[in-house]
Amino acid sequence: TQSAFMNRKYFDTVFLSRNNASYVVSMVDTMGDNDDIVEEISKKLPTDLKVYTWQALMKSMVELMKVDSFFGYISIALFFLVIFFVIMIYGFINVSARIREFGVLKSIGLSDLSIDLLLFYEILILTLLALALATPLGAYTAYYFEAHPIIIPGMSDMYKEYGVVSDEVPTLFEPFTVFWNVTLVFGLNLLSIIYPLFYVRSFTPVEAMHHV
């Protein structure tokens, strides 16, 4: 059994108690189970007793979280878009510097498809090597900050109206998140080679060998 003593006005604001302190608060292991648990409890209680999830009691905070999450997804999308164009520009510069090499390969009978496969295998090998180095490093960083959260002094004072009572910035390490990020970066790397392939194909063997 645990007890907590709180300022009545603060309690009424946080828990929307409306001058009624007869509250029983329970915690669940998985937030996704909230609605199912509320439904089960409601069936076993008298009709004059109400059961609410924290989302219902703190609707303003939930709306703020949704907005924050939306802009977070936009930021991530822009981040990956920048990554894509950086990789594509690097691939284009790499191909542009080797046009004469490809012209010689074409002149001795190498087909466009063979050159496409050559460039594809190059980007595939580079991508796998980069991910093999970056994935464990990034995963360990996320795990480390989950175990040792970043502390921003005074943060709880800024957001105490939303129930934030800690200066720690929580970090969650999830293998699935690591997996889909790695998969997305891998796909973007492979897509980045498409434009350089068409650029190489636009040269005839003679034009490529005289390219400066």
Look at residue 2 and tell me whether its pLDDT is greater than 70: no
Query: Tens digit of pLDDT for each residue in 167-188?
Result: 777 788 888 988 988 999 899 8
Give the pLDDT of residue 59: 76
Is residue 200 within 8 A of residue 119, CB to CB? The reply is yes
Give the pLDDT of residue 21: 52
Query: Tens digit of pLDDT for each residue in 85-100?
Result: 988 898 888 888 888 8
Give the C-alpha separation, 54 to 34, whole Å: 9
Give the C-alpha separation, 65 to 73, whole Å: 12
Give the C-alpha separation, 118 to 201, whole Å: 13
Give the C-alpha separation, 104 to 118, whole Å: 14
Beta strands 168-169; 150-151: pairing state? antiparallel
User: How many helices (H) does the chain have, and how many strands (E)?
Assistant: 10, 2
Give the C-alpha separation, 142 to 152, whole Å: 17
Query: Tens digit of pLDDT for each residue in 133-168?
Result: 999 998 999 899 888 888 877 766 766 665 566 777
Task: Work out the pLDDT band at 20, boundaries 50, 70, 90.
Answer: low
Phi, psi of 150 (to 5 degrees): -75, 135
Give the C-alpha separation, 20 to 49, whole Å: 13
Query: Tens digit of pLDDT for each residue in 98-126?
Result: 888 888 888 888 888 898 899 899 999 99
Strand positions, DSSP E, the chain: 150-151, 168-169
Give the pLDDT of residue 167: 73
Query: Tens digit of pLDDT for each residue in 55-84?
Result: 777 777 778 878 888 888 898 889 889 988
Q: Which residues pair with 169 in a beta bridge?
A: 150
Give the pLDDT of residue 160: 64
- How does DSSP classify residue 150? E
Give the pLDDT of residue 128: 93
Could you tell me the two tokens for 104? 């010689």
- How does DSSP classify residue 148? S
